[in-house]
Amino acid sequence: MIRRLSTRVVYENRWMRVREDRIERGDGSQGIYGVVEKSDFALVIPAENDGFHLVEEYRYPVGRRTWNFPQGTYPDGRLGDPEDLARRELAEETGFRAGTLTPLGFLHASHGTSTQGFHVFLATDLRPGEAAREVEEQDMCQRFVTRAEFKRLIREGHITDDSTLAAYTLLTLHEETP
């Protein structure tokens, strides 16, 4: 068990806070632990016709464009209903509205360094509409891929988002449930 002795915020903006904790380990030794505090997000798997609608955008931290399932948080650390957030992100990034939204589970994004987790939803009975992307998403594009193409994109390194891959695992487990 690790016990926090003290904490201080070392950086903060509207999307995240970084704190540094002075800690004591179970053996009595002390150290420092850095923690990134971020709001939970919603990830949506828009599925139809044995495939998925993906979005692609430039990801500044990794310096490249990648494909992933639509996902996002409420701005300014605001909290809200995960299902409402999932519907909002799906419509905002793809324009689609889900007739049915099925919760698949909750996962932690990077539990060794961050407090952030995410709710995974399967969106079906999709109805098209206009996307309303945020300014940070202005270069985003989307496309439909079959399951076979989805797997190929993973193998070829075009899908590297861990949340997308973890969500796909939850979907696979959901589909295996009798």
* In a shared domain, residues 31 and 46: no
* In a shared domain, residues 62 and 16: no
* In a shared domain, residues 59 and 144: yes
pLDDT in tens, the chain (178 residues): 899 999 999 999 988 999 999 999 999 999 999 999 999 999 999 999 999 999 999 888 899 999 999 999 987 778 889 999 999 999 999 999 999 999 999 999 988 899 999 999 999 999 998 887 777 777 888 999 999 999 999 999 999 999 999 999 999 999 998 7
* In a shared domain, residues 101 and 21: no
* In a shared domain, residues 52 and 88: yes
Identify the CATH number of the domain in which residue 48 sits. 3.90.79.10
* In a shared domain, residues 145 and 97: yes
Number of domains comprising the chain: 2
* In a shared domain, residues 15 and 45: no
* In a shared domain, residues 16 and 51: no
Rounded CA-CA distance 93/174 in Å is 24
Which residue range forms the structural domain that includes residue 12?
3-37
pTM across the whole model = 0.91
